[in-house]
Chains A and B, each alone.
Chain A
């Protein structure tokens, strides 16, 4: 067990090192932080932003003399902000996961990993942990932005909702990265891997739409498998253990498929 853990940590550390020296990782981080900041400003202060909407509502309430409804601005903000972040990630995650195995296959380093006393599982887990750590680094600055909003709220709003929302964001990313890692293990072209992962994500989105269109028990069954639905629940502060189970199922499925695909790749390799 200690050896397996040591192996996972070795893979994890190497994976993290790659991000520190990779220009692509810096570019992704830069673009993501820029867009996140833009969304933050627009959602909060833009012409259709939350503050403008609240101000409008207050003016109308005064003019027509109805009582101002209670609006939890921080809560509304976090909900909308995390929702937008979820969408943004759908474009960024394929780029993060595309090189995980495709790059190893292209460079021939998969041959080193495959001939070392280390299991496919350990490699996949280490890699997923590495890319997830990079992802968490990406979203850390968002917490600063949110803290600014939350600190201004009067009375102080509970931290449970944003915390749950971020847990959801991380779990959503982990699920998609895990599937993306599997896709990456199928090819030695990083571009192809990114495109295919994006297709997988679109399929997951489509699943949500299909579920809503069909309705009924079948629609509900498909809907239960939808990552986005569970994510939306979590950012609204609805915690359901089935969401956790679903996210972890996707993560484990991705790791399992990756390990299998590397085995199969070696088996039929020309």
Chain B
């Protein structure tokens, strides 16, 4: 449905995105994930025909976004970062206006506008001026505006920014309800949002797509997460070496001791470490017995599963680690926890 191939965009001498390639199948929700300034908005603007790409192609429903711009624009609904609203119009008036410029036929408009308002829970606000609506309602009008012409493809740029938790849940449910009949790209930097709404993720960092995969595959593939967190008493270097040699253990690293206030606490001679296990292996009991036999006292042992957060941090950090100091990694882990 949406095919993006080798997309590049250069502003002056800085390139915003480089060689961005991904596909979205019909009826799927793709989470477009990346830190702020990674190139999400630029990519979405190219997809919707707002910006031309410097090179590369993007096709929506078989139409090239540059060569068949008008055809593409009819087939796409777009919610930019700031919802494009006319504050002096009523909700209904605005949606009628949008349906007109999106080319909805005159006989169809009333139904389509009513359906969009129904979907976004706006029916009771239909005669209210947009100027008087709260942020959450404005965001909903923004989404209604993107779906009013029932486009096969929908692009949403950070649809839940600035909403309260209740509204965020509503918007996520709304987006989920749109899947199947619509193909959706959803950009965000809020990680739980992706795991709750999307089938697949594309992670973009510094203008490059780092990975595209389903969530499950992504978490399995990356060793970053699953393993154990230990707190033990004894010689850290010795424990580390011993654990490293166990079957099924991939990596052992020390992590800072954190007190309740988040500051480093050096208590007695306890150490905390993280043991990262190989995919599919469960070295838990081996670790415990090895430590017991080695004379270490084990104060805490906790199973940790890979979260999207770990995956995200690992993928978006790699570059940074290469060019700066590797010690930063530990601090980052601490901050993420």
Interface residues of A (CB under 8 A from B): 3, 6-7, 9-11, 13-14, 17-18, 21-22, 107-119, 266-270
How far, in angstroms, from A88 to B83 measured CA to CA in the complex? 38
List chain B residues, Cβ under 8 A from A21.
88
List chain B residues, Cβ under 8 A from A11.
101
Interface residues of B (CB under 8 A from A): 11, 48-52, 70-71, 73-74, 76, 78, 80, 82-89, 93, 97-98, 100-103, 145
How far, in angstroms, from A110 to B85 measured CA to CA in the complex? 10
List chain A residues, Cβ under 8 A from B97.
10, 13-14
Instruction: Contacts A7-B103, A18-B88 known; list 10 others, CB within 8 Å.
Output: A9-B100, A14-B86, A14-B97, A22-B88, A108-B82, A108-B83, A112-B98, A115-B76, A117-B70, A266-B50
Q: Of A22, A113, A117, which is within 8 A of B74 by CB? A: A117
List chain B residues, Cβ under 8 A from A115.
48-50, 73, 76, 78
List chain B residues, Cβ under 8 A from A116.
73, 98, 101-102
How far, in angstroms, from A268 to B52 measured CA to CA in the complex? 9
How far, in angstroms, from A269 to B53 measured CA to CA in the complex? 12
Per DSSP, chain A at the interface is helix
How far, in angstroms, from A19 to B38 measured CA to CA in the complex? 40
Per DSSP, chain B at the interface is loop
Report yes or no: B84 in contact with A107, Cβ–Cβ below 8 A. Answer: yes
Minimum distance in angstroms from A129 CB to a CB of chain B: 15
Minimum distance in angstroms from B258 CB to a CB of chain A: 41
Would you list 27 pairs from A and B whose C-beta atoms are within 8 A, ordered by A residue?
A: A6-B100, A7-B101, A7-B103, A9-B100, A13-B97, A17-B93, A18-B86, A107-B85, A107-B87, A108-B82, A108-B83, A109-B84, A109-B86, A110-B84, A111-B78, A113-B101, A114-B49, A114-B50, A115-B76, A116-B73, A116-B102, A117-B71, A117-B102, A118-B101, A266-B52, A267-B52, A268-B11
List chain A residues, Cβ under 8 A from B89.
14, 17
Report yes or no: A112 in contact with B145, Cβ–Cβ below 8 A. Answer: yes
How far, in angstroms, from A117 to B98 measured CA to CA in the complex? 11
Minimum distance in angstroms from B49 CB to a CB of chain A: 6
Report yes or no: A10 in contact with B48, Cβ–Cβ below 8 A. Answer: no
Q: Of B49, B85, B93, B103, which is within 8 A of A3 by CB? A: B103
Report yes or no: A17 in contact with B88, Cβ–Cβ below 8 A. Answer: yes
List chain B residues, Cβ under 8 A from A117.
70-71, 73-74, 101-103
How far, in angstroms, from A117 to B84 measured CA to CA in the complex? 16
